[in-house]
Structure 1
Amino acid sequence: MKRAALLAAAAALLVAAGEPLPAERETEHVVTAGETLMGVANRAKVPRVLIIEANGLKAPYALRTGQKLKIPRTRRHTVARGDSGFTVAYRYAVPWKDIAVANGLSEDAPLKPGQVLLIPTLIATADPAPPASAASAAASAAAATAASATKIFGWPLQGTVRRGFTARTESDYHDGIDIRTPVGTAVRASAPGKVLFAGAEPRQFGNLVVIDHGNGWTSSYAFLSRVTVSENEDVRAGERIGLSGRTGMAKGPELHFELRRNNRPIDPAEELPEAK
């Protein structure tokens, strides 16, 4: 009898595991035959206009079977002690000015523990490129090749990568790489720049340093045992900015390292030189 009950429970779990995500929790929807935009929006419980904007749909908004639609969802963040506009924005990869606007706040408004913030979903839009002649296209391609051959970022320390980058389009996304290293190892600036943040981030990163490198690029160094630079300080490439540790959500002695361009996480493996 007991064995039968266990088998029944296991079967139920298997069935549940194979069930699709409920419509009100989907972040991507594949259109089935006969579906309309209004029907998708109603089942997803997301305003129709947001789905239109997220997918660049044009009137009359007819859908086709098999079409994939992004379903933008608003997230919520409950402010914890030690949170700041910077740390909240960094965690969700959404500029603080956009979060402030979504919540009717001024950008310099102080945050209070327990305060609930709406985190807007930003839709990336590509600027239309002007038509280029064959000569200018060839010159652009040559410039891109030369730029890719010169890596502007260096490794912050030597060690084994425990976990790599996974884009935010995946449910188990990971915005950077985790590098195993003994506690107390010197962590060095990946490129020259100015320190944007240096201190404790209470939710996830522990002791954190973020450096602005210009042109929209930032690098981040988390799980540190000690921070050795200050905000607004100029740093050189290779200069020590802290010591590695196991603070925050570290799984052991390691460094969490990120690169972002215009606040969008970029795979560091694509920007770093080949490890020696």
Structure 2
Amino acid sequence: MTSIIKRQIVEERSHTRPEKNSRRNEPMRPLEVISTDPARLWSQDNKPGRKKLFSREKRQSLSSSSPAIINFPETRRKPWPAGGGPGKEGNDLQINWIDLLFMSNMIMVLVLLALFLGPARGSLSMYIDSRSLYLPPGLYSGAFAVPHDSGIQLSSAAPAVEDLPDVDHSQFDALEVSEYQIQNGDTLGQIALDFDLNMDTLISFNQIRDVRRMQVGQSLQIPNRDGLLHHVEQGDSLSALSDEYGSSLNAILDANSLDSETISPGDTIFIPGVKMNQTDLKLVLGELFIYPASGRFTSGFGYRADPFTGARRFHNGVDWANRVGTPIKASMAGTVVHVESQIGNYGRFVIIQHPRGFQTLYAHMDSIAVSRGEYVSQGEMIGRMGNTGRSTGPHLHFSLIRNGNFVDPLAYLH
């Protein structure tokens, strides 16, 4: 009895569960195209051993609207275990090609959107996640996906706007000049600031030699950009000026509206984007002293042997010897505070008051060209060299006084 029961159980299992690995060993069957023709569907459905796929009403509807259906036997699911799924024998996978075509078009649209929107956003990257794509069950969606760890990135080929180099196009603009009248309370520095320019530019354009000589109502030429004016001399060329000032040759040509590099002595050329050297700027601003006369240096500042007695005495200035009548110039702009025409130890001499507590003294002059209270500019002639007073020959004795004390002029002269 026991053996009979065991035999029945074995037979039932052999009917309900397929033999292990039997599906794997089956040869792959070719694709079967199931026609939508009702007559063929009827004949196919009525073959021995084939389960009917559609009712008569369903076949009639398919004959007018449905496309051909392709059966993929190699992707057919294994039958569900008994009682473990919707059917004991499983369902064949059926895929509609219209759905596949629609999904592929959607993928292409996403890629095209990424490429076209990329330049507008600078740089757009898009990764296609296989989990975000819907495909029919049984079809491997990874075939259409880019894995996260693959390193493949879709991005626009156009560079981001912020990566483009900045170019100052203003350096190639043509020069334009306007006019401004100095108002009460104006300073050169404030005027330059108001017009967004350097003081160097205003000094050069208006040929200012002494900022303290500027007056209310005076007209200033105001260019539309920074730069300096250069007065062309014999032997000058644009290429040489470009190297000397460190300005682009094309910028010089454009600023001066020149069609060629031909220039002539006497021309005035604007050199864009350059500044005065600090020495020249300080001289114009009255911050440096210049040599008051030309000649041979004969005596320095400090103790020395007196030329008349030979005794050791302190010499409070420096001396330059030259011919009588050699011009003497103001070492710095200022106001004449003393003019001495009587012949004393210094002979004829002049004292000029300067900013920041400085005074300059010019002695042994042959003639004087200024008067007390007069304002003089730096480099302006104030008299001529002579041999008046306690002197051993024609020369200029020059002293520099700071806050009432004599200092070495050579430490301040430039």
State if a TM-score over 0.5 links the two structures.
Answer: no
TM-score (normalizing by structure 1): 0.43
Q: Greater RCO between the two (CA within 8 Å, min separation 6)? A: 1
